[in-house]
Structure 1
Amino acid sequence: MSETVARAWAVTRRDGMVLGFTDHDRALSFEGIDFRPDTGLNARAVVQGSGLSVDNSEAVGALSDSAITEIDLMAGRWDAADVRLWEVDWTDTANRRLIFRGHLGEVSRSGAAFRAELRGLSEPLNRMQGRVYHPRCSAQLGDGRCGFDLSRPGYSAEGVIVSDEGGQRFILSNVDGHDARWFERGQLVVLSGPAEGLSGIVKSDLALAGARREIELWAGLGIRPAIGDRVQLVAGCDKLAETCRMKFLNYLNFRGFPHLPPEDWLLAPGVNR
């Protein structure tokens, strides 16, 4: 098989799109996936450790309109995509073995080329585990631990972009009935246009006259929204106990420790404990 071996990649994006690539000079097909030879995707040597060490590799390739586009990379549509790599006998694709499975990590680009870090299945073992004891809430707004339903009336709003400054600061129209700073630390989600589906974290939120809103994001979106695009604003949470109690009426689910003594108290001499 060594003389007829080729490598085949299947990359599954989070939106469900599956693309197949191969370093063979002809197309291959198996597991319901067509693996194309003309995409310019290839991989460096896969490093696979024994035990629980992290597998790692790097995929390199060329940007093309038919496969991996610069717009999709900038929009983050390839972030955390699932990756499978086989060694396959191109004369009989039933004779193959899976040698790597993981997901894409950091993706960088240079001109018409890109590099994507590959992270193996054991990579999450490097992350810190356990609960952090802190006065602020450790849950994410709307997740299972928080339990808050963000679809409740008053906690989201839709608007239209009427002004854009640098792709990071926007003036929205038709947003009324919310206090100033209501959406700070929340999300702006694009509902239409070329950036549809992208979202960013709100840095500042100012209420203006005429049901308008000035929204600034912490970072620009991968694709710049256009004037006239519709967006949705989702309320933000600063993870303080008072905010949970007064803004979201959700204090029973607060996942912080608001009465935890501060570090200065713990380090102060002569304090009875």
Structure 2
Amino acid sequence: MRVFFDRELDATATFWRIFRQDGIALGFTSHDRDLVFAGLRHRAAPGMVPAAIRMTSDLSEDSAGVDGALSHDSIKGSELSAGLFDRAAIEIGIVDWETLEHHTIYSGALGRIEDDSRGFSAELKSAKQVLEQDIVPRTSPTCRAFFCGPGCGLSANKFTDRVALTALDLDLNRVQLNNVASANHVDGKLRFLNGPQTGKPFGILSVDANWLTLDRPIDASVPIGTPAELIEGCDHTLTTCASRFSNAVNFRGEPFLPGNDLLARYGQSSG
């Protein structure tokens, strides 16, 4: 295995790779020319550079971040706002630019991304973040199960429709679909099956007449007629679970458990 920085002069550079959830892989390097290794071209003069990385030997989460310019060809503001980089896997490491031997020193996923129209910054979440997740569910007045997911017991096919895009309203970030518009789709999901945002789930915030308002910006280049999957929503309350779905037996919540407000109440005299 290659040992880096074991000599006075070392031909090393930093590299980092991003693996988006739509299947796109991007490679970057701090070297002054492109480097091709591990089956991927790592571009020089990149639109994204790693910030400080803190590695720990214990179980506490490592921390890192990246900064970038929205003007670079590979990092577009429209793609960031469309969520194409959300939860993308990332690797950061060292490469010998002469022999192309390389070693990954950090792996994780992109977390919160902030941009100011000229540049952006993103936090990185290391693989240790899974150790901070609760291993047992906390109590909640609403159902903790994903709608039509594990624990819910309902079939997603029963509440999913194949639809097509019929109109776009970019100013209000809403869409119109063929013969589908129901209050039951609030809190549901829309997923395009073609076009620039293929596979990205959009949450449905509200339904107004035949328009569905989405929770993330929609790409203006999505063509009319694009096929999509539309799944109904659920507000995760016991009332909805029982009356609309007749599924109260699978409700994963504690709607009648007293809350913290009970501890703050003052005693009152009955006289």
TM-score by length of 2: 0.79
Q: CA deviation at 1:27?
A: 2.3
**Structure 1 letter corresponding to 2:149:** D
- Counterpart-to-counterpart distance in 2, 1:43 and 1:151: 43
Cα contact 2:144–2:253 (8 A) shared by 1: yes
Match of residue 221, structure 1, among 217, 224, 232: 217
Gaps of 5+ in 1: none
1:99 equivalent in structure 2:
105
Where 1:242 maps in the other structure, the secondary structure is: helix
Say whether 1:108 aligns with 2:105: no
2:183 equivalent in structure 1:
181
How do residues 158-237 of structure 1 correspond to structure 2 at under 5 angstroms?
158-162=163-167, 164=169, 166-175=171-180, 180-206=182-208, 208=209, 213-217=210-214, 219-224=215-220, 228-230=224-226, 231-237=228-234
CA gap of 1:90–1:195, structure 2 versus 1, over 3 A, is: closer
Q: CA deviation at 1:43?
A: 1.5
- Counterpart-to-counterpart distance in 1, 2:196 and 2:250: 38
Say whether 1:41 aligns with 2:48: yes
1:61 equivalent in structure 2:
68
- Counterpart-to-counterpart distance in 2, 1:81 and 1:55: 17
CA gap of 1:168–1:250, structure 2 versus 1, over 3 A, is: same
Q: CA deviation at 1:225?
A: 7.1
2:236 equivalent in structure 1:
239
CA gap of 1:8–1:166, structure 2 versus 1, over 3 A, is: same
Where 1:137 maps in the other structure, the secondary structure is: coil
Say whether 1:18 aligns with 2:60: no
1:74 equivalent in structure 2:
81
- Counterpart-to-counterpart distance in 2, 1:254 and 1:121: 31
Question: How much is the aligned-residue C-alpha RMSD, in angstroms?
Answer: 3.0
- Counterpart-to-counterpart distance in 1, 2:68 and 2:160: 43
- Counterpart-to-counterpart distance in 2, 1:257 and 1:65: 49
Cα contact 2:165–2:175 (8 A) shared by 1: no
Q: CA deviation at 1:121?
A: 1.6
CA gap of 1:52–1:60, structure 2 versus 1, over 3 A, is: same
- Counterpart-to-counterpart distance in 2, 1:129 and 1:222: 35
Gaps of 5+ in 2: none
Say whether 1:147 aligns with 2:153: yes
- Aligned residue pairs: how many? 259
- Counterpart-to-counterpart distance in 2, 1:62 and 1:37: 14
- Counterpart-to-counterpart distance in 1, 2:220 and 2:239: 36
- Counterpart-to-counterpart distance in 2, 1:46 and 1:262: 41
1:88 equivalent in structure 2:
95
TM-score by length of 1: 0.79
Cα contact 2:140–2:255 (8 A) shared by 1: yes
- Counterpart-to-counterpart distance in 2, 1:227 and 1:167: 17
